[in-house]
Amino acid sequence: MEYRTEHDSMGEILVPADKYWGAQTQRSLENFRIGSEKMPPEVIRAFALMKKAAAAVNCRLGKLDGERAALIARVCDEISSGALDGNFPLAVWQTGSGTQSNMNVNEVVAGRGNAIAGKKLLHPNDHVNMSQSSNDTFPTAMHISAVLGTQQELIPALTSLIDTFRCLEYECAGAVKSGRTHLQDAVPISFSQEISGWRASLETDVAMLRSALEPVRSLALGGTAVGTGLNAPEGFDAAVAQELTRLTGTPFRTAENKFHALTSKDEIVALHGAVKATACDMMKIANDVRWLASGPRCGLGEIVIPENEPGSSIMPGKVNPTQCEAVTMAAVQVMGNDAAVGFAASQGNFELNVFMPVCIYNFLQSVRLMSDSVNSFNRNCARGIRPNREKMRANLYNSLMLVTALSPQIGYENAARVAHLAHAENISLREATLRLGYLDGETFDRVFRPEEMI
């Protein structure tokens, strides 16, 4: 491999000749060989948006000339497109302020920009990082990536699954089945009603996500090192937020209190809480689906789900509810991530939180996992759910809890005696009722209508 010599305030260091990063990136790469987790690409793209917006505002405020501003914008567009992806190699497990990733982006923008210009026009600190500090840029990149990921990936995935469930409610009209509470038989419910519960859960999750997104739209940029705004011109913070709103098509605003914005991560905690709530509901829905589809002969077998791949290396013909299992594993990971996000957010000592890389890494993994697993579950399972109406009816009429329909006629305690007798002697509720003399056959047939109990 060929190298070139780069320098920073600590001296000279060799850098791979085919990469655009500089000395500080190289030092981080060599000093933090920890794990395989790299800074998420969503954070890098958020940095690119922010650096482009900052350059435009610095130019308008007369601090940066037009040529340099245009060059920064061009390279940031390349970063956003993924064209420079091989230039961001740093580990999550680095400085807790994310300084080295901020400098990684600064150096790549400067290096690539100078290569395009054919001369040294850009300095990573003086031009690309103008009016900024790592301490306000990293939390800003966190918020940008969190908003865009939630809004552009997770909410659309949930909305699509909600639409699928709404269609299933219509398609499954008229299918009545036994309800279940405590994993035991309960009174009847229509399958459409059961599905509507799934749909409403996800609609509630989307509403909570949208509500929790609003505080995350506040950006720390402009606070610089400790929140005082040192070296940032007046109006820079608000102008960059407006420029980011224009670039992304979604609202951003400057944080009212930069001291809070640099040290507290409560907005991310709250938004991740809504992501976790989504994971909890997806866990419940996926478990319902795989229980209802259990069998095909020795389980509940009340619904049929798509058969996507063989389920066993030893049992021929076995098919498993694999999409449900993938969703539930993703949900478990999100619940674990919530603990990491919360612990990281609690470490805002004095004027800066220094657990930011691990915080945003876990947050974005949760959004990515939930978005992808919901899309996969929707595409490969939910859209293919079909009711097994015959099995539903058989289970329904075999349920002892249908005796609830008799309570208004014979009373709770007598109805309980009917259920116990039917269960003990393996006879129907009708036979048990007649044997106990509580109703005659004609009256029983008139009041015992399971399909009307929903």
Which residues are catalytic, by number? Answer: 182, 312
What kind and span of H or E run contains 387? Answer: strand 386-387
Residue 432 near residue 418 (C-beta atoms within 8 A): yes
CA distances from 165 to 291, 314, 369 (A): 17, 35, 21
Contacts of 195 (CB under 8 A, 6+ apart): 165, 168, 169, 172
DSSP H helix total and E strand total for the chain: 17, 8
Closest CA to 108 of 90, 131, 135: 90
For helices 99-117 and 66-81, the axis angle rounded to 10 degrees is 110
CA distance 235 to 217: 18
Q: What is the SS3 assignment for 28? A: helix
Residue type at position 290: R
Burial of 119 (0-12, 13-18, 19+ CB in 10 A): exposed
Burial of 343 (0-12, 13-18, 19+ CB in 10 A): middle
Tokens 């995935």, located at residue: 157
Neighbours of 426 (CB within 10 A): 6
Contacts of 134 (CB under 8 A, 6+ apart): 97, 98, 99, 102, 103
Contacts of 431 (CB under 8 A, 6+ apart): 422
Output the furthest CA–CA distance in the chain (Å, rounded): 101
CA distances from 180 to 183, 188, 292 (A): 6, 8, 11
Residue 216 near residue 271 (C-beta atoms within 8 A): yes
Closest CA to 150 of 326, 369, 337: 369
Closest CA to 275 of 369, 183, 347: 369
Tokens 């349920």, located at residue: 399
